Amino acid sequence: MIRNILNNTWRKGSHAMDYGDRTLSFVCRRCFHDGKVLSGPRSFFGVEDFLDDDNSRPYTYKKEKRPKSPHKHISFKQRTIAYMEPFSLDVYISKRFVSASVTHRVTCKQVAVAGTNSKDIKAVLKSRSDIPACLAVGRFLAERAKEADVYTCTYTPRERDKFEGKIRAVVQSLIDNGIDVKVYLD
């Protein structure tokens, strides 16, 4: 049967392509395979069937979660909050140092950064992780934010952080030095 098909396709004008050491490829024009290549060059790994839907990231899995409802309604506030309040405050406190930054939420660029590891603050402080260090970080951050024309920002504590002690000292120091901070607590 295959011999008859190949003879018929050869007589009807199909071409056999030779790639040197590779296999021959027969193209059928009218019959059995509707013009598709019977055996063509394969990918290096032989897994061309495992591409993503849009062929953008081959051989990988999508890591993001898919929403339960793809047509879920997103409120106006959720869509516009990043533009209405574009700057956010991020405070990180460890056992050794304190750092804080003001970040633009849309472009993800840090506008102002202050920390107790920087040379100008390190020289003034006795300890790099106590309450006076937090007040100094807030004061330096406020000065640098004013230089960048930022006078308002928002702060949402992380899940593990409580709004008390050192974090409250940094935010209060920012407020005392002229930066309006909106604090969102759950």
Q: Could you list the pLDDT tens digit for every one of the 186 residues in the chain?
A: 666 666 665 555 545 544 455 545 554 445 555 555 555 555 444 444 444 455 554 444 444 556 667 677 888 888 888 888 899 999 999 999 999 999 999 999 999 999 999 888 888 888 888 999 999 999 999 999 999 999 999 999 888 888 888 999 999 999 999 999 999 887
Domains of the chain: 87-183 (3.30.420.80)
Give the pLDDT of residue 55: 53
Give the pLDDT of residue 108: 92
Kindly report the backbone phi and psi dihedral angles of residue 151, in degrees, each rounded to the nearest multiple of 5, phi listed first.
Answer: -120, -10
CA 170 to chain centre: 28
Residues with Cβ within 8 Å of residue 57, at least 6 apart in sequence = none
Length of the chain: 186
Give the pLDDT of residue 139: 94
Structure tokens at 128: 């790099």
What does the alpha-carbon distance between residue 99 and residue 114 come to, in Å, rounded to a whole number?
6
Structure tokens at 96: 């050794």
Strand locations in the chain (E): 16-17, 25-26, 87-93, 98-104, 110-115, 152-155, 180-183
Give the pLDDT of residue 69: 72
Structure tokens at 30: 């009218």
Beta bridge partners of 7: none
Give the pLDDT of residue 2: 63
What does the alpha-carbon distance between residue 12 and residue 47 come to, in Å, rounded to a whole number?
34
Identify the three-state secondary structure at position 6. helix
Quote the pTM value: 0.59
